Amino acid sequence: MDGHRCCTKGNVKRGLWSPEEDEKLFTYITTYGHGKWSSVPKYAGLHRCGKSCRLRWINYLRPDLKRGSFTSEEKQIIIDVHRILGNKWAQIAKHLPGRTDNEVKNFWNSCIKKKLISQGLDPSIHNLVPSHQRAYNEVAYKCNVPPNDELSNSVFTLNSQITNAYTLEMGTPIFTVPDNQPPLLQNPNPVWNQSLTDFTSFPRVSSIESTPNISSSSSSSSSSSLVNPSGFGLLNHENCVWGDSTFAPFEAPILEGERPMRQEVLQEREKVSEMGTNMVIQNMDASFDSSSFDLRFVESTLVSDFMHHDFISMDDFAWN
């Protein structure tokens, strides 16, 4: 049992909320605010625990909640941010005004995850998997069995191959972390931190109204800021480890109808896309059924994927 004490005091109701309970809670919170959640049920006249009240308010009653299904833009944001943060639902939800972590999590588990699997992608790492493992994972998912880790380790690694090929061609490592430098995740750049935590300033990589010129963005910290490889936030040449001038910044996946890209970015993307496509063709199993392959979807999950993959584990980032 859960240890929260409020539930052990007296008889608390559980299960679905009735409209009457909703009204009581809504009226109380909008009138007095929640203050201490543990005292809310008492004053609101509810036989619920404070935790339950809090959850009901956050996930359902809050007036600023956006109802209805997720838009394609929201879906793309979820995929993009999940690729970087993993199952940090609360962090992901911060980038989706009006959406809750619970909503995002449910949407991921019921929709996106399945689609990624059906497209041959490992939803945990957004990576392509070979058909034999794909089949296993699909069955495993349906049967609620954990994916085969042994196979995961032998996964066809498009990302690292692309990265290596790209590094060779460019003659410059994408990221060079000097031994005597603190890891990137400790980069104190306030712009970087802010852009990731404040959704009001978060550059919507999938948004049509994204910043037109990414490299000349009006960052107050530096005129030579770059978009970081994941496409989120800016980095400063003085602090950033990927601030090599020979390296054109990558961007997060871009949807149809989005802003025009700078020429060099376009060229790099074409190069990378071509390499990726060739590798897919060379490496994918013969049994691979391309007719059911949603290229645009896969591209959106892959193209920016390898950008961060040779990066230090992004989960290590101090996003907060």
Partner DNA sequence: AATTTGGACAACCGCAATAAC
Partner DNA sequence: GGTTATTGCGGTTGTCCAAAT
Give residues in contact with DNA (CB under 7 A): 1-7, 13-17, 34-39, 48, 50-52, 54-56, 59-60, 69, 87-91, 101-103, 105-107, 109-111, 114
Give min distance, CB of 91 to DNA, in A.
6
Give min distance, CB of 182 to DNA, in A.
20
Between 3 and 260, CB nearer to DNA: 3
Between 89 and 192, CB nearer to DNA: 89
Whole-angstrom distance, CA of residue 115 vs CA of residue 246: 37
Whole-angstrom distance, CA of residue 87 vs CA of residue 102: 11
Give min distance, CB of 114 to DNA, in A.
7
Between 81 and 280, CB nearer to DNA: 81
Give long-range contacts, CB 8 A cutoff, 24+ apart: 72-76: 72/255, 73/204, 73/206, 73/207, 73/208, 73/255, 74/99, 75/107, 75/111, 75/112, 76/205, 76/206, 76/253, 76/255, 76/300
Three-state SS string across 153-207, please? HCCCCHHHHHHHHHHHHHCCCCCCCCCCCCCHHHCCCHHHHHHHHCCCCCCCCCC
Task: Look at the block and give the residue holding tokens 């308010």.
Answer: 57
CB 128 within 8 A of CB 302: yes
Between 96 and 162, CB nearer to DNA: 96
Give min distance, CB of 100 to DNA, in A.
8
Give min distance, CB of 80 to DNA, in A.
16
Give min distance, CB of 318 to DNA, in A.
11
Surface-to-core class of residue 180, CB atoms within 10 Å of its CB (0-12 exposed, 13-18 middle, 19+ buried):
exposed
CB 73 within 8 A of CB 84: no
Q: Write the CB contacts of 55 (distance below 8 Å, at least 6 apart in sequence).
A: 102
Q: Tell me what percent of the chain is helix, strand and coil, each rounded to the nearest 5.
A: 50, 0, 50
Whole-angstrom distance, CA of residue 299 vs CA of residue 277: 10
Between 87 and 224, CB nearer to DNA: 87
Between 103 and 251, CB nearer to DNA: 103
Between 16 and 286, CB nearer to DNA: 16
Exposure string for 298-311, b = 16+ CB within 10 A, e = fewer: bbbbbbbbbbbbbb
Give min distance, CB of 126 to DNA, in A.
15
Give min distance, CB of 156 to DNA, in A.
25
Between 69 and 246, CB nearer to DNA: 69
Between 124 and 277, CB nearer to DNA: 124
CA distances from 122 to 97, 125, 193, 271, 305 (A): 27, 6, 28, 24, 12
Give min distance, CB of 158 to DNA, in A.
25
